[in-house]
Amino acid sequence: MGTRRTAVRFTLEELADVAPGNSVEVRVPPDGAVQAVAGPRHTRGTPPNVVETDPDTWLRLATGALTWTDAVAQGKVHASGARADLADWLPLQAARPRA
C-alpha cells in the first residue's frame, strides 16, 4: 500500500507540474489530492471543478493504461465543472518539454 500511495502522490505532483493552476481539484482518496489546471483560483468551500477517482484508476490514467474518455464512460471517474476534463494532460509523460 505504501508503494501505491507514493505512486499516486508522485503522479498527482506531476499533473500539477504539467497543468499548473488552481481551478481543478483532483482527488484520489485516500492517497492524495492536488489543485491543477489554469483558470479561476478556488479558495473556499467545495471547488466548482472536481475530479475524483480511486487510486488504481488514477494510476491507470496517469500511465496510459486507461483513457480519460473510457474512464468517464465506465463511471470510474467523477468529474464535475466546466474545467474538470483532464484528457489534455493524461497520460502523464516522463519527458514532457517545459514551457
- How far is Cα of residue 51 from the mean position of the Cα atoms in its chain? 7
Q: How far apart are the first and last CA of the chain?
A: 34
pLDDT (tens digit per residue) in 13-34 = 999 999 999 899 999 999 999 9
pTM above 0.85, yes or no: yes
Which tens digits make up the pLDDT trace of 30-79?
Answer: 999 999 998 876 666 667 899 999 999 999 999 999 999 999 999 999 99
pLDDT value at 99 more than 70: no
**Numbers of helices and strands, H then E, in the chain:** 3, 4
3-class SS of residue 82: coil
Residue at grid coordinates 514532457? 96
